[in-house]
Amino acid sequence: MQVVLAFLIGGLFAIAIYLMLRRTVARVIIGLALLTNATNLLIFTVGGLTRAAPPLIPEGQDRPTTPIADSMPQSLILTAIVIGFGVLAFMMVLAFRTTQVVVEDDTDRMQATDALVPVEMTDLAEPYDEEEESHPHDPVPTPRAQGAT
Amino acid sequence: MANLLILPIILPFFAAALGLLWRTQRRLQRLLSLLGAAGIFATGIALISVVRQSGPLVLAVGGWPAPFGITLVADLLSAILVTLTGGIGLAVVVFSFSAIDAQRERFAYFPLLLILLMGVCGAFLTGDIFNLYVWFEVLLIASFVLLALGSERAQMEGAIKYVTINLISSMLFLVAVGLLYAEAGTLNMADLSQVIPQAPNPGLIAAIAALFLVAFGIKAAMFPLYFWLPAAYHTPPPVVSAVFAGLLTKVGVYALLRMFTLVFVGDVGYTHAIILTLAGVTMVVGVLGALAQSELRRILSFLIVSHIGFAVMGLGLYTPAGLSGAVFYIVEDMIVLTGLFLVAGIIDQVAPDDDLRNLGGFYAAAPLFGLLFLLPALSLAGVPPLSGFFAKLALLRASVAIGQYGIVAAAICTSVLTLLAVTRMWSEVFWKPNPRQEAIVLPRFGAQGLALWLPVIVLAGLVVVLGLAVGPAFGLASAAGQQLFDPSVYVRAVLGAGQ
């Protein structure tokens, strides 16, 4: 079981990193969601997998009588899920606002804060014209909007 | 007495909660945030005096004893940093009274600031590694919103980068915590420092240490993980940049200091040599970046990166003198960088942008304002008798004492280049005539202007006072450094005398 989960976690991390290296913000967000889940699964797996031994103390006893599962990784994951959910929700709102303000979800075109001198948006690289990314409603690259709307 | 430890967390929390309830009451919000920050500051001072007298203070939250429940611990370093958080919080809150527009205030600017302060204090005080992750998330989410509040184009672009990179760093942190728990079976930092040396698998411990180094290195903006900082820190209003510059990266440095003096000290010759090298490169690369920039706040952002290197350098040396120097440097750096960003905030009030080419004439308009810039700026470059000189001197002496001449060379080069960067800012912004041919009208010392001037004056004054009273100030930092180097006091305080 651990081996299967290890491969699953590794796969999830790989997909998450691949998605976060893409240029569209939407994929970065999906990547982050996968990264959070991969991390949670990792904590779960390295914390030790125990079958059918819930950490419950039998009635009348003051300590467990049989070996039980460690409940700590599960409480860590619960906390991490809550935090991850909140942060992911914030990230989605942020991305939505960004596409409204910047009129762009191509991260390569979000370089106004990196450049040494303020960049004219038209000077940047050619629009992203990878086959799958082209917008059917917008075949001709239009001049990108400048500044806040 | 131990209940003091909870105050820096619940005071800003309640102030923020009340502020959110009365979101439209501007005066109430301002009063609450002032009280919250002042409460942190006062508690910090009380903590310092208690910890100095009777050793680290420990609070087992909820009454669960040490290795099982979450503990809050204040050793001298934590107490000093909580005090500074309160002080910088006060300066920024007062400055915000007249620097933040009504729009941002309506969207809960002050409660967010308080939540940020709460997260920073929580991170400084917790003795539990998973709890540290939670506090990091608390302060990060507050900083995300503060960064994006206002929704200007540059802000949104900066925020996307800042949020993404910080979430990746948090995930690495969480992975490291999970692996560490699997290996050691505990999350309490003091307990970890007992268990880790006996861990059966030193190779895995080294890998976990590397994960922590990367995660905290991103938060602290160390080379080669600093690129997000200059891309994001100059985009929000300068007063927000000021609180970020003063507090956020320092939390990363604090976490490095804590983990790599308490837990990961098994193979110091290897790990700390890496840290020292990274510190040296961070210094040089940061200051070179600052020289290449032409906007005031971007220059300052790169100078933050550069001077993170000095604080981390003290950790890399890993001697009592080096750690003392690092503590003093962090204190000095927090004051100086907040002060400089607030000066940029005053300039921002009267200038159209902060491009050096469009600025000028501030010295002719207000000579004393020039002094308020020059004091922290020269302290950053390490000019005597300001506090930055003594901080650098302590670090250099500590490196010479153990024969690390490479880092000495890097530090001296960085200081000289920093001096070049700040004199360039001085000559462009203050000395050169104003290219826009119009009179500069700085804010007056009225009810509005006082809120702008007072924090800047106090911070610039502190730079001088810390330099003149370097004896007692460095004594405190040096006691904190000793405590870091010999964690047995910390461990005994947390786990009880039996250990």
Give CA–CA dist A120/A143, Å, rounded: 11
Two tokens at A56? 């419950």
Contacts of B217 (CB under 8 A, 6+ apart): B225, B252, B256, B278
Using an 8 Å Cβ cutoff, are B242 and B92 in contact? yes
Task: Tell me, yes or no, whether A139 lies in a domain.
Answer: no
What confidence tens digit (pLDDT) does each residue in B372-407 have?
A: 999 999 999 988 889 999 999 999 999 999 988 999
What confidence tens digit (pLDDT) does each residue in A94-140 have?
A: 988 888 887 777 777 777 666 655 544 444 444 444 444 444 444 44
Lowest mean pLDDT among A10-19, A25-34, A133-142, B74-83: A133-142
- CA distance readout (Å), A89 to A81, B187, B341: 12, 28, 31
| Interface touch B178/A36, C-beta < 8 Å | no
Distant-in-sequence contacts of A31-37, Cβ < 8 A, 24+ apart: A32/A88, A32/A91, A32/B164, A32/B167, A32/B168, A33/A84, A33/A88, A35/B167, A35/B168, A35/B171, A36/A80, A36/A81, A36/A84, A36/A87, A36/A88, A36/B171, A37/A12, A37/A84
| Interface touch B294/A117, C-beta < 8 Å | yes
Collapsing DSSP states into helix, strand and coil, what is residue A130? Answer: coil
Using an 8 Å Cβ cutoff, are B327 and B317 in contact? no
Mean pLDDT across chain B, nearest whole number? Answer: 90
* Residue B94 pLDDT exceeds 90: yes
pLDDT range class, residue B143, cuts 50, 70, 90: very high
Best B171, B241, B299 member to test A by mutation, with max A CBs in 10 Å, is B171
Task: Please count the other Cβ atoms lying within 10 Å of the Cβ belonging to residue B291.
Answer: 15
Chain A residue at shortest CA distance from B297: A113
Complex-level ipTM = 0.85
| Interface touch B144/A73, C-beta < 8 Å | no
pLDDT score recorded for residue A98:
85
| Interface touch B181/A117, C-beta < 8 Å | no
Using an 8 Å Cβ cutoff, are B301 and B307 in contact? no
Give CA–CA dist B149/B241, Å, rounded: 12
Nearest residue, CB atoms, B144 vs list A90, A101, A112:
A90
Helices (H), B318-444: 320-350, 362-365, 367-381, 387-401, 405-425
pLDDT score recorded for residue A85:
92
Specify the number of domains making up chain A: 1
Residues of chain B with pLDDT > 70, as a percent, come to 99
pLDDT range class, residue B498, cuts 50, 70, 90: very low
Tell me how far apart the terminal alpha carbons of chain B are, to the nearest angstrom. Answer: 23
Nearest partner of B455 among B343, B374, B327, judged by Cα: B343
Using an 8 Å Cβ cutoff, are A146 and A121 in contact? yes
Two tokens at B238? 């300068």
Which residues in chain B touch residue A95, judged by CB atoms under 8 angstroms apart?
Answer: 160
Task: Tell me, yes or no, whether A5 lies in a domain.
Answer: yes
* Residue B68 pLDDT exceeds 80: yes
The DSSP bridge partners found for residue B58 are B73
Which residues in chain A touch residue B130, judged by CB atoms under 8 angstroms apart?
Answer: 76, 79
How close is the nearest chain B Cα to the Cα of A133, in Å?
Answer: 20
Give CA–CA dist B317/B327, Å, rounded: 13
Best A19, A34, A43, A113 member to test B by mutation, with max B CBs in 10 Å, is A113
Q: Peptide bond preceding B236: is omega within 30 degrees of 0, i.e. cis? A: no
Give CA–CA dist B137/B158, Å, rounded: 18
Single-letter amino acid code for the residue at B213: L
Using an 8 Å Cβ cutoff, are B95 and B459 in contact? no
- Interface residues on A facing B, Cβ-Cβ cutoff 8 A: 20, 25, 28, 32, 35-36, 39, 42-43, 46-48, 72-73, 76, 79-80, 83, 86-87, 90-91, 94-95, 97-98, 101-102, 107, 110-114, 116-117, 147-148
Domain range spanning residue A95?
A: 1-51+70-112
Give CA–CA dist B437/B355, Å, rounded: 16
The DSSP bridge partners found for residue B60 are B71
Nearest residue, CB atoms, A94 vs list B159, B232, B293:
B159
Can you tell me the mean pLDDT for A9-35?
A: 92
* Residue B438 pLDDT exceeds 80: no
How close is the nearest chain A Cα to the Cα of B362, in Å?
Answer: 23
Can you tell me the mean pLDDT for B312-339?
A: 93
pLDDT score recorded for residue A115:
64
Nearest partner of A109 among A21, A19, A24, A16, judged by Cα: A24
Give CA–CA dist B326/B480, Å, rounded: 10
Which residues in chain B touch residue A91, judged by CB atoms under 8 angstroms apart?
Answer: 163-164, 167
pLDDT score recorded for residue A110:
72
- CA distance readout (Å), B451 to A128, B92, B268, B360, B444: 48, 10, 47, 24, 10
Using an 8 Å Cβ cutoff, are B296 and B356 in contact? yes
Give CA–CA dist B229/B231, Å, rounded: 5
Contacts of B152 (CB under 8 A, 6+ apart): A101, A148, B235
Kindly list the domain boundaries of chain B, sorted by start residue: 267-482
Using an 8 Å Cβ cutoff, are B402 and B318 in contact? no
DSSP string, B278-325: HHHHHHHHHHHHHHH--BHHHHHHHHHHHHHHHHHHHHHH-SHHHHHH
pLDDT score recorded for residue A114:
67
pLDDT score recorded for residue A129:
46
Give CA–CA dist B455/B97, Å, rounded: 11
